[in-house]
């Protein structure tokens, strides 16, 4: 794969990942069903708004090239918290969260120098 196509692929991955996480976090933060589900497992109803809002901010930062690393680390931290919360409550279907985390790592590890080389 050429450097140009690698750059385009990683950039596309970053945008798709950032937008998917942004939309899912907004849905989680604002959906009444999420608040009910969180309340059913014994957590406060404010958790979806807090976690979803923080995840949305991290996703937005991840989409800004200058803040990509800060947003990426924040995104990884929030995804890790989500995995732990799911696992502690017996919800072991966290594969998508793990995939999002690895895709975030790929996007964060890709860097170009001033000449466009990897």
In this predicted model, what pLDDT tens digit does every residue of 61-78 receive, in sequence order?
999 999 999 999 999 999
- Name the residue with tokens 């918290």: 81
Which CA distances in Å does 92 have to 4, 19, 28, 45, 47?
A: 38, 24, 18, 22, 19
Please choose, from the candidates 46, 99, 43, the residue with its C-alpha nearest in 3D space to the C-alpha of residue 76.
Answer: 99
Low-confidence ranges of the chain (pLDDT < 70): 112-118
Dist. CA 117–CA 93, nearest whole Å: 38
Give the pLDDT of residue 99.
Answer: 97
Give the pLDDT of residue 112.
Answer: 59
Quote the pTM value: 0.86
Q: Which two tokens stand for residue 37?
A: 């589900």
């Amino acid at each position: 794969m050429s450097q140009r196509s690698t750059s385009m692929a990683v950039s596309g991955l970053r945008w798709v990942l950032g937008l998917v996480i942004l939309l899912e976090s907004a849905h989680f933060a604002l959906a009444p069903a999420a608040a009910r589900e969180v309340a059913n497992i014994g957590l406060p109803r404010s958790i979806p708004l807090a976690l979803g809002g923080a995840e949305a901010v991290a996703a937005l930062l991840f989409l800004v090239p200058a803040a990509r690393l800060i947003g990426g680390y924040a995104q990884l931290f929030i995804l890790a918290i989500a995995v732990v919360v799911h696992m502690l409550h017996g919800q072991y279907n966290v594969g998508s969260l793990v995939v999002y985390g690895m895709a975030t790592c790929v996007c964060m590890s890709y860097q170009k120098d001033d000449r466009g080389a990897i």
